C-alpha cells in the first residue's frame, strides 16, 4: 500500500482531477495517464471504494460541482442559465443534485469522463447577485482524452468559447483547442488551458472587478474563442482576476522565462479598500489600478523556478511536477503560493486578513505563512476570502476573512464571523483527504468518503444560503436555507454510507 503521507499528497493535489481518473482505460492518451497514480492512491484511503465524489475547486458563484469516480459530474446549488448541464435552462436551487456527463462521440471506449472542472462567475459571486451582471457564468470540464467542454453561460462575453450551432449552452459542448489539453483553470471571468505541447489558450472576459465600477469595460473586448497566449509553458495557475504561467527554468537575463503573469493590478492608496493586490509579488504599490495585457515576469515568483520547470505541459502540483513553485492562487484580497518544500507564502491586503503572519507585512510583500513547527503544506485551497492549507499531518489550517461570507469556529464547527490573520487549525475536522472551495463555501472529503461543507454566505453583506449550496441531498438531516455550520453529505457507496 502507498505510504499514508504519499496518499495524502496525491489526494490533495489541486482539486485537480482527483478521482475521475480511476476510470482510466488503456489507449486513451497521456491526459489520463497523468492522473492514474493519483487516483489509485486516492482509492486506497476509502473504506468502500465503490462510488466516490470529490468537490472541485472553482470560481463558480453558488454552484457546487463534484466529480464522481466514473467521470460523471454532480451539480447542486444555483443552476440557472443552464448550469446543470442537463439541457434545462433552469433547475431550482432546492432541487436534488443534477448528474451530468460529457458527450462520448469519438471516444476510444465510448465513454468520455470528466477529470477536472473549472467555473466562472462575476467576481466569483452568484451570477444573479449583481444587478448589472452581463452574463459572466459558466462551467468547463476537461475530459480524459484531453478535450474541453463548456456549458451554463452565454457567448456575450465569450464564457462558452464556442457557438451554440451544434450544442446548446445548456449542455456540455466542445471548445475547439489545438492539441491535447492537460490542465484547465479559470479566473473569475476567463478560462485558461495548457496543452501537452506547452501551449496556453485563453477565452472569456478581461473586465475589471464589479466592485470597482459598474461600467466594467474590458480592455480590447472579450476573447470569444480560445486565443493563443504563450508557448513553451511548464504549468499554469489562476488568480481572481489574473493568471500565471511558469515558462521554463528561470534565466535571469531572459525576461520571458520563469513566472509570467497578466491581468488586473490594484494595490494601495485610494484603492486600498478595493479587491486585488499585486499578482507579481514584486511590491508594485501604486495608487491606481491597471490592466496588464501582455505577460510579464514576476521577479519574486521566478526566484522559485530555477530548476525542475523545464518540461512543458505539466499539471501544476501533480506528482510529475518537479518545479520549485507548485501552486499559485489569487483571492479577492490577496494571493498565496506553495513551494515544493511545503512552505506557503501569502501577500495582499492587510484589511482583508491576507497576511498569514503576526508580522505586520506591507501590502503586496510575499511573507511566509506561520504554520506549526514541523508542519508543511501538501496542498492549498481557498474560497473567495479564506485560505485553507492541507498539512502533511492531514489536518486543515485556515486564515483569512470570515465576517462577510460566514465561516466556522475552528474548535466546534459552529458558525462564526471571526477573522484570522494567522493560520488556525480546524480541530473539529480531524484528518481529511481533500480540501476545496468555491464562492463563500469550503469543502473537504474525509477518509471515509463523506463530504463536509460550510459557509455559503452571500456578498454584499448577506448571510443567507438562499441557493442551498449546502444541500440535504445524500445527507442524513434536512438543511434549512439559512447560513449553515458544518454539514455532512453522506455520499452513496462511500465507507461512511455503509457504517
CATH of the domain at 156: 2.130.10.30
Domain that holds residue 390: 4-498
Place of cell 489562476: 238
User: In this predicted model, what pLDDT tens digit does every residue of 13-31 receive, in sequence order?
Assistant: 333 343 333 222 222 333 3
Of the ranges 30-39, 440-449, 485-494, the best mean pLDDT one: 440-449
Res. 56 pLDDT band, cuts 50 70 90: very high
d(CA 434, CA 371): 19
CA 415, 416, 422, 424 dihedral sign is negative
What pLDDT does residue 350 have? 61
Structural domain count, the chain: 1
**pLDDT on residue 174:** 98
Average pLDDT over residues 49-67: 82
pLDDT digits (tens, 9 = 90+) for 287-310: 556 788 899 999 999 999 999 999
Cβ proximity of 250 and 303 under 8 Å: yes
**Would the pLDDT of 209 be above 80?**
no
pLDDT higher than 50, residue 371: yes
The DSSP secondary-structure symbol of 446 reads -
pLDDT mean over 268-283: 63
Average pLDDT of the residues in 346-375: 73
Residue 448 contacts residue 494 (beta carbons within 8 Å): yes
**Could you tell me which residues come within 8 angstroms of residue 189 by beta carbon, excluding any fewer than 6 positions away?**
120, 122, 136, 157, 204, 205, 206, 207, 241
- Tell me, what's the pLDDT at 220? 64
Residue 58 has pLDDT above 60, yes or no: yes
In this model, does residue 487 exceed pLDDT 90?
no
Q: Averaging pLDDT over each range in 349-358, 403-412, 433-442, which range is the top one?
A: 433-442
| Mean pLDDT of the residues in the chain | 78
Residue 123, pLDDT score? 66
CB atoms within 10 A of CB 347: 26
In the structure, what pLDDT confidence band is assigned to residue 283 with cuts at 50, 70 and 90? confident
- pLDDT-based confidence at residue 48 (cuts at 50, 70, 90): very low
Amino acid at each position: 500500500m502507498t505510504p499514508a503521507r504519499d496518499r495524502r499528497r496525491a489526494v490533495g493535489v489541486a482539486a485537480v482531477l482527483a478521482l475521475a481518473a480511476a476510470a482510466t482505460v488503456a489507449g486513451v492518451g497521456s491526459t489520463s495517464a497523468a492522473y492514474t497514480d493519483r487516483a489509485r492512491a486516492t482509492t486506497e484511503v476509502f473504506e468502500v471504494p465503490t462510488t466516490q465524489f470529490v468537490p472541485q475547486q472553482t470560481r463558480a458563484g453558488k454552484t457546487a460541482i463534484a466529480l464522481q469516480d466514473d467521470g460523471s459530474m454532480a451539480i447542486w446549488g444555483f443552476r440557472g442559465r443552464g448550469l446543470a448541464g442537463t439541457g434545462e435552462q433552469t433547475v431550482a436551487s432546492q432541487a436534488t443534485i443534477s448528474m451530468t456527463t460529457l458527450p462520448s462521440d469519438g471516444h476510444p471506449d465510448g465513454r468520455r469522463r470528466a477529470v477536472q472542472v473549472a467555473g466562472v462567475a462575476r467576481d466569483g459571486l452568484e451570477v444573479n447577485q449583481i444587478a448589472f451582471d452581463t452574463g459572466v457564468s459558466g462551467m468547463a470540464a476537461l475530459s480524459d482524452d484531453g478535450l474541453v467542454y463548456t456549458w451554463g453561460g452565454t457567448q456575450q462575453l465569450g464564457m462558452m468559447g464556442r457557438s451554440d450551432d451544434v450544442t446548446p449552452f445548456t449542455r456540455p459542448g466542445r471548445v475547439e483547442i489545438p492539441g491535447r489539453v492537460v490542465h484547465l483553470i479559470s479566473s473569475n471571468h476567463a478560462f485558461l488551458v495548457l496543452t501537452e505541447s506547452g501551449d496556453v489558450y485563453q477565452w472569456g472576459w478581461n473586465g475589471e472587478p464589479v466592485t470597482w465600477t459598474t461600467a466594467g469595460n474590458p480592455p480590447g473586448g472579450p476573447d470569444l474563442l480560445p486565443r493563443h497566449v504563450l508557448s513553451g509553458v511548464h504549468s499554469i495557475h489562476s488568480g481572481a482576476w489574473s493568471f500565471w504561467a511558469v515558462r521554463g527554468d528561470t534565466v535571469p537575463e531572459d525576461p520571458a522565462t520563469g513566472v509570467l503573469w497578466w491581468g488586473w493590478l490594484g494595490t494601495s492608496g485610494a484603492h486600498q479598500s478595493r479587491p486585488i493586490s499585486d499578482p507579481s509579488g514584486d511590491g508594485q504599490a501604486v495608487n491606481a489600478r491597471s490592466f496588464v495585457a501582455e505577460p510579464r515576469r514576476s521577479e519574486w515568483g521566478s526566484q522559485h523556478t530555477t530548476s525542475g520547470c523545464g518540461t512543458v505541459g505539466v499539471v501544476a502540483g501533480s506528482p510529475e511536477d518537479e518545479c520549485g513553485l507548485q501552486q499559485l492562487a489569487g483571492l479577492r484580497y490577496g494571493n498565496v503560493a506553495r513551494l515544493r518544500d511545503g512552505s506557503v507564502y501569502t501577500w495582499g491586503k492587510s484589511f482583508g486578513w491576507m497576511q498569514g503572519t503576526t508580522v505586520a507585512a506591507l501590502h503586496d510583500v510575499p511573507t511566509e505563512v506561520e504554520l506549526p513547527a514541523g508542519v508543511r503544506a501538501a496542498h492549498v485551497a481557498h474560497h473567495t476570502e479564506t485560505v485553507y492549507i492541507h498539512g502533511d499531518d492531514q489536518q486543515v489550517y485556515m486564515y483569512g476573512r470570515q465576517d462577510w461570507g460566514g465561516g466556522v469556529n475552528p474548535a466546534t464547527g459552529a458558525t462564526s464571523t471571526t477573522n484570522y490573520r494567522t493560520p488556525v487549525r480546524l480541530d473539529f475536522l480531524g484528518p481529511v483527504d481533500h480540501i476545496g472551495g468555491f464562492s463563500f463555501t469550503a469543502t473537504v472529503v474525509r477518509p471515509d468518503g463523506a463530504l463536509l461543507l460550510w459557509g455559503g454566505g452571500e456578498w454584499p453583506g448577506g448571510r443567507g444560503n438562499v441557493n442551498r449550496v449546502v444541500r440535504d441531498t445524500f445527507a442524513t438531516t434536512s438543511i434549512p436555507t439559512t447560513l449553515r455550520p458544518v454539514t455532512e453529505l453522506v455520499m452513496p457507496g462511500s465507507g461512511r454510507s455503509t457504517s
